[in-house]
Chains A and B, each alone.
Chain A
């Protein structure tokens, strides 16, 4: 079991309130991702669940038991840090064995679990090396290995991939997702990368300045963002926002149209503009369009290879059923 509840939790550093009163439930076995721009309080929230930060008020419950005052070592959670936080004076084997040794698990059982974890994480050949002799990806695997062997109630990940290069990040992302499918243990994952959030999460929690802006599955957030912040944060490239006359025509203060929901033509369309930059990726073509009179730049993602280049006139047609309307307060209409 691993059901985690936050009830009216707040956090204040001195005079500054970083987490205003907040309620959240993460169900057993769920992969929840906290996402938001830097400084939004997502890491603080994770550290509060871990017990590394105190709650100023409110309660944290794990499997319906209040753990607010329980020290991190007694919460039964495992955490993977951004900086890996391996013990530099111990070999990989000893690093992985450490939590089991602290829990008083027999040496024979420790070894069985180490071998299994090392095999699953491709670390078998590195067990006798020190962390300093490993690459970033291998170090992160050791950190994950150290978390797995404890059979924790839940895994907490604090931006675990942000120190890795792009290619490695994609690989590790898949490994963590596969690990979740295999173990079916609750995981809470903090990231500022919305792609990681979209690809891994069962449930995304979008945070801004300590407030939960929206909670939902990746596609719920993509399809029905509650406000302009979520709309702009989820999805890549970012949603286009159009104000002024065009918005008023639709009875809104702002219109939101995702780049992939605009059709492109060289001959006719609702809107007309000039191609500023065209990025030809083969599978897709990204256009950055000026002079539409709607916004400084409109971004459009068209499938396939489209032979329009810098300076060409381009005609655009938004998909009416995918236009998002927002009021003057930024909320969805």
Chain B
């Protein structure tokens, strides 16, 4: 007995140590980025100043005064909020229909939706830029970004919502139908309150995806609708990388989403493991 207890404690300690090491490994780039953002561009590339240096807010003041940080941040908020809202607006009814009124082809439709994620984005880059710039005239607008961000996230959102909705017993929806509820009433009175946790974590995840999206936001904007991803990209100066400046911009771009994720972590974890353990 004693041996068993001893070895399990040793195992626990080594597992904990391993977990910490992995966590630190993942955390280190963020930590390094935040540290660098308080260094001058000259200090940033010198290894001897890795941990010990004279901190400065120069990069941050520079960013807000000369690079119009708040405009980019506002664009990020606008596109992420509206894209998330639009994704849910389309995704909830779609997932609802497939979860509660499935047809023989529901599985195929779901697979088809997922298959759109398999198409490399670069494959449609040229037609997208060409069409939006020359034909539709919506290049570099909030509208375009909201549309694109919604559409690329819709498959994931529908899959997640579908999984949550499947957990709701069908009889509850049927009971509501017998009780004289309209289709909109079913969604409003029954579905949304019962799947609230799932909807919230889907929204959160989609919001994070929209906020972090770089491929399209960088390529489909120039100035008017440019988001924080574009701001980071824009600081890759041709004459070399200004690590201090770049780190400040990056830290200010990921900051809000890290704060949001921190406050909602319970919701996120609960949402992502929903249905895994009954």
Q: Do A and B come from one complex?
A: yes
Are A85 and B174 in contact (CB-based, < 8 A)? yes
- Closest Cβ of chain A to B181, distance in Å, is 5
Name which residue of chain B comes closest to A74, CB basis. B180
Contact with A along B172-189 (1 / 0, CB 8 A): 101111111110010001
A68 to B193, alpha carbons, bound, how many Å?
Answer: 31
Given A85-B169, A87-B190, A89-B194: A150 and B179 interface contact (C-beta under 8 Å)? yes
Contacts of B178 in A (CB 8 A): 50, 52, 72-73, 77-79
Are B180 and A73 in contact (CB-based, < 8 A)? yes
A102: Cβ under 8 A from any B Cβ: yes
- Closest Cβ of chain B to A139, distance in Å, is 12
Contacts of A81 in B (CB 8 A): 171, 174-175
Which residues of chain A (34-83) have a CB below 8 Å from chain B? 50-52, 71-74, 77-79, 81-83
A222: Cβ under 8 A from any B Cβ: no
Contacts of B174 in A (CB 8 A): 50, 52, 72, 79, 81, 85
Contacts of A98 in B (CB 8 A): 176, 179, 189
Summed over the interface, the residue pairs from A and B with CB atoms below 8 Å come to a total of 61
Contacts of B194 in A (CB 8 A): 87-89
A86 to B168, alpha carbons, bound, how many Å?
Answer: 12
Are A85 and B175 in contact (CB-based, < 8 A)? yes
A99: Cβ under 8 A from any B Cβ: yes
Of B169, B180, B185, chain A has the most CB atoms within 10 Å of the CB of B180
Given A88-B194, A89-B193, A89-B194: A99 and B179 interface contact (C-beta under 8 Å)? yes
Of A73, A99, A143, chain B has the most CB atoms within 10 Å of the CB of A73
Cross-interface CB contact of B179 among A51, A52, A73, A89, cutoff 8 Å: A73
Name which residue of chain A comes closest to B185, CB basis. A102
Contacts of A11 in B (CB 8 A): none
Are A102 and B181 in contact (CB-based, < 8 A)? yes
Q: Enumerate 22 A-B pairs (CB-CB under 8 Å) in ascending A order.
A: A51-B177, A71-B177, A72-B174, A72-B178, A73-B182, A74-B180, A78-B178, A81-B174, A85-B171, A85-B172, A85-B174, A87-B172, A87-B175, A87-B194, A88-B194, A89-B193, A98-B189, A99-B180, A103-B180, A146-B175, A146-B179, A150-B179
Apart from A73-B181, A85-B175, A87-B175: 6 A-B pairs, beta carbons within 8 A: A50-B174, A81-B171, A82-B171, A83-B171, A88-B172, A146-B175
